[in-house]
C-alpha cells in the first residue's frame, strides 16, 4: 500500500477540541469486484469545510456518496471498512439509509431542481418528512439561508426551471437546508456554473459552515484553497494493473497547498498533472 494516513494537523490553536463528524477506517468501495477507492482512513470535523481533490477517477465522488448512502442506489456497489457518523456505524444493521439522508444532505454537480414551483421545491423535503411548523416560515428561512430569498420572494410560485443555473443550485442548497441537516455534502456544486454564480456559492458555504459541517468535492483547486479548512488529496494508483483511488494526503488546506509532504500532492496542486 503506497498511501499512508497523515494525521490532520491543527489549522490553529482552538479553544474547543475538534469533534469528528465522520470517522473512516480503511474504507473501500467496490463496483462489482472492482475497487474504486480503497484504504481510506481519516476524520472529517464538525463546522469545517473539507475539500476532496484529485484527478478524475480517483474515487472522490464515490467516497462522498458513501457518506449519505447514496451509493446504495447502485446495486453493484459494496462498501467495506468502518464508516462512522458521530460514532454510529453508517452501514451497521438497522441503520435506514432514508434516516441517514435526513441528517446528511447532498447537493449535486448539476443543479437538479424538481419540475415544480420554487416554493414546492423547498417544501418537498419538510413535507415528505412530515416536519412540524409553518411551511411558509420554513421556506422563507431556508431561502434566506441560501441567500436566495431577495431574488425570488416575488415569484415563489413560478417554476424553478425559469431560474438561472446559479439560482437553481442555490435553490438546491436551500432545499437541502430545509430539512435541517447536520452535514451538507456537495459534489462539485459549482462545476456547471459561471464564475459569478460560483463565487456566490462559495460565499454561501463560508456563511453556512458556522452551522453545518460541509464536505465538498471539487476539480477546481483554487476553490478548495479559497473555501476549505481541510483538504484531502486523492490519487489514482495502478494496483496490479487496476486503477484504484487512494487517499494520498490529508491536512489543513494551507499545508496541502503550500507545503505538502507527498511529492504527488505537490505535483497535483502546482498543476503538473491532473
Residues 110-169 that bind other proteins (CB under 8 A): 110, 112-115, 124-125, 128-129, 161
Q: Does position 99 bind other proteins by CB under 8 A?
A: yes
Using the minimum distance from each CB to other proteins, give the nearer residue, 167 or 229: 167
d(CA 56, CA 124): 33
Q: What stretch of H or E contains 38?
A: strand 34-45
Q: Does position 68 bind other proteins by CB under 8 A?
A: yes
Name the minimum Å distance from CB 126 to other proteins: 9
User: What strands lie across the sheet with 34-45, from one edge to the other?
Assistant: 88-89, 77-85, 20-31, 34-45, 242-252, 230-239, 49-53, 213-217, 183-187, 104-107
Name the minimum Å distance from CB 105 to other proteins: 6
Using the minimum distance from each CB to other proteins, give the nearer residue, 34 or 129: 129
Q: Does position 209 bind other proteins by CB under 8 A?
A: no
Interface stretch with other proteins, choices 9-17, 36-44, 45-53, 173-181 (CB under 8 A) = 173-181
Phi and psi torsions of 261, nearest 5°: -90, -20
Alpha-helical regions (H) of 78-164: 97-103, 118-129, 135-145, 149-152
Q: Which residue(s) pair with 106 in the sheet?
A: 185
Q: Does position 172 bind other proteins by CB under 8 A?
A: yes
Place of cell 411548523: 133
* Footprint of other proteins (CB under 8 A): 68, 70, 73, 75, 98-99, 101-102, 105-106, 108, 110, 112-115, 124-125, 128-129, 161, 172, 175-176, 179
Amino acid at each position: 500500500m503506497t498511501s499512508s494516513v497523515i494525521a490532520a494537523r491543527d489549522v490553529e490553536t482552538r479553544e474547543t477540541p475538534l469533534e469528528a463528524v465522520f470517522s473512516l477506517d480503511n474504507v473501500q468501495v467496490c463496483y462489482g469486484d472492482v475497487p474504486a477507492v480503497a484504504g481510506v482512513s481519516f476524520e472529517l470535523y464538525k463546522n469545517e469545510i473539507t475539500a476532496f481533490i484529485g484527478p478524475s477517477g480517483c474515487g472522490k465522488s464515490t467516497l462522498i456518496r458513501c457518506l449519505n448512502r447514496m451509493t446504495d442506489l447502485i446495486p453493484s456497489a459494496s462498501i467495506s471498512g468502518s464508516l462512522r457518523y458521530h460514532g454510529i456505524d453508517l452501514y451497521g444493521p438497522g441503520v435506514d439509509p432514508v434516516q441517514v439522508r435526513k441528517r446528511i444532505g447532498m447537493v449535486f454537480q448539476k443543479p437538479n431542481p424538481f419540475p415544480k414551483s420554487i416554493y414546492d421545491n423547498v417544501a418537498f423535503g419538510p413535507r415528505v418528512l412530515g416536519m412540524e411548523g409553518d411551511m411558509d416560515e420554513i421556506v422563507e428561512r431556508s431561502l434566506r439561508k441560501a441567500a436566495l430569498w431577495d431574488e425570488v420572494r416575488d415569484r415563489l410560485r413560478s417554476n424553478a426551471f425559469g431560474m438561472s443555473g446559479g439560482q437553481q443550485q442555490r435553490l438546491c442548497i436551500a432545499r437541502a437546508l430545509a430539512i435541517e441537516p447536520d452535514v451538507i455534502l456537495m459534489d462539485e456544486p459549482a462545476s456547471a456554473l459561471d464564475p459569478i454564480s460560483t463565487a456566490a456559492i462559495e460565499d454561501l458555504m463560508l456563511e453556512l459552515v458556522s452551522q453545518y459541517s460541509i464536505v465538498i468535492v471539487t476539480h477546481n483547486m483554487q476553490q478548495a484553497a479559497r473555501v476549505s479548512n481541510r483538504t484531502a488529496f486523492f490519487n489514482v494508483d495502478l494496483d496490479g494493473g487496476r486503477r484504484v483511488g487512494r487517499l494520498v494526503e490529508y491536512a489543513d488546506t494551507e499545508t496541502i497547498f503550500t507545503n505538502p509532504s507527498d511529492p504527488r500532492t505537490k505535483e497535483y496542486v502546482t498543476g503538473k498533472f491532473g
